Amino acid sequence: MRNAMRGTSLIEAMLAIALLATVMLAVAGSQLAMARAQRATIWRERALWLADARIERMHVAAEAGDDLAARAAASLPGGTMTRGDGPDGVRYTVVGWRGGNAAAGPRCEATGSSAQPPSCVRIPYREAEADER
């Protein structure tokens, strides 16, 4: 009878260790997911800043050189900066980067629903007329 109790204690200890190992793997996985989300948030914030800076630069000095595209390429992985035209005189500044396994689309338009956010930002704006300034 005593030998049976010792075997049961060993099985309980093994189950406890297996449960602890599973929980630790789940914690490590959630930490990695949070680190990836933080990195994507930093890239998105940087891209928004660059897109806003380009729009502001065009309002202040339209003929100035555009070194912000080079800055986007240097500060974002696979960073690109483009401009696009929309309906009714609306223009877009698009900053994209390589996120995950796919590169950013040229117009930052999702063709379908995705579980991951797009790897680009698009800010619409209108050019001010000369008498509006």
105, pLDDT greater than 80: no
69, pLDDT greater than 50: yes
**Residue in the block written with tokens 């223009």:** 91
Q: The whole model's pTM is what?
A: 0.67
Helical ranges in 61-125 per DSSP H: 68-75
User: What pLDDT does 62 receive?
Assistant: 66
User: What pLDDT does 106 receive?
Assistant: 46
Q: Which of 129, 109, 131, 111 is nearest to 119 (CA)?
A: 109
% of the chain at pLDDT higher than 70? 73
From 60-69, 82-91, 101-110, 114-123, the region with the lowest mean pLDDT: 101-110
